[in-house]
Amino acid sequence: MRVEIWHNPACGTSRNALALIRHAGIEPDIVEYLQATPDKARLREAISAAGLSVREAIRSKQPEYLALGLDDESLSDEALLDAMVATPILINRPFVFSPLGVRLCRPDSSMVLDILPPCDKPFTKEDGGVVIDERGNRVR
């Protein structure tokens, strides 16, 4: 199964999603999107495929969000997408793509399990949170 992750190695949620993909026995295509920023069309497609609005896919907690005036509700999706491409730290992460769907795995990295083959091996996140217990059940 081909899986792609838009990854930021400095982000714990992104690291946990990557670890879960690998835990499922898949070595994904890793796109460090801060260096290899998707173009506007690809970003728009990813957001749509994940069932999100552009505002739901933007990192509003980044200082750049306010500095660029992106909190202005009158801004169009096109303006927000332009800002995200120009300043990729504003793209929420991690986006994960698989033949089973697209997910923005935030705030919970375990959302990636929705688009991976079943995995019943125990898994614990780097912060100690159990995602799959010793019986192979997903913990929510």
Catalytic residues, by residue number, are 11
Set out the domains of the chain in order of their start, with CATH numbers: 4-132 (3.40.30.10)
pLDDT at 140: 76
pLDDT tens, residue order, the chain (140 aa): 999 999 999 999 999 999 999 999 999 999 999 999 999 999 999 999 999 999 999 999 999 999 999 999 999 999 999 999 999 999 999 999 999 999 999 999 999 999 999 988 999 999 999 999 999 889 97
pLDDT at 120: 86
pTM metric for this prediction: 0.93
Residues contacting 60, CB < 8 A, separation 6+ = 70, 71
